[in-house]
Amino acid sequence: MIIKLHKGDITKMSVDTIVNAANSSLLGGGGVDGAIHRAAGPELLVECRKLNGCPTGKAKITNAYNLACKHVIHTVGPIWKGGNSNEANLLKSCYKNSLKLAEAYKLESIVFPNISTGVYGYPKEEAAKIAIETVMTKSLKLKHLKEITFCVFDDTNYEIYQKLLKDII
């Protein structure tokens, strides 16, 4: 298993699947979600409407349309409420369920954004620790995935991930 860190635009990643930090409607929004919907084109919205939303911690898969990847896995991260509302377990579930879908579709590469750290307010370093720990634990059981990338858009997140991944990549 190859673990990578990339700083840049997740919508430009040429991989099997990117993960969308979506809202529960799956109909687009701000941040990563809005960027993915804009880059994919209107067909993504049409397909997402048929999925009837997605609960927090779960994941659903669609085609990628105009994106460089083949699929988009949409997962709904928890809104940060101070850490006492099951946020950590819900965030772990986002990564686990995304990886399960990737495995079920026999995908070889996946790119994760910083789920829940934008408008949902999850503390960045804590979210990064959960992301890395969950992916590292779950990836040991995967047969098809060969490459997992964490894609960050800003210097702060890049430094956090770089520090946390220094012994892994």
Q: Mean of the per-residue pLDDT values for the chain?
A: 95
| Residue 3 to residue 158: CA distance in whole angstroms | 14
The H or E element that residue 138 is part of is helix 124-139
> pLDDT per residue over 7-17, tens digit each?
999 999 999 99
Q: Which pTM was predicted? A: 0.95
pLDDT for residue 167: 77
CATH number assigned to the domain covering 2-165 = 3.40.220.10
- All structural domains of the chain with their residue ranges: 2-165
> pLDDT per residue over 74-125, tens digit each?
999 999 999 999 999 999 999 999 999 999 999 999 999 999 999 999 999 9
Active site residues per annotation: 33
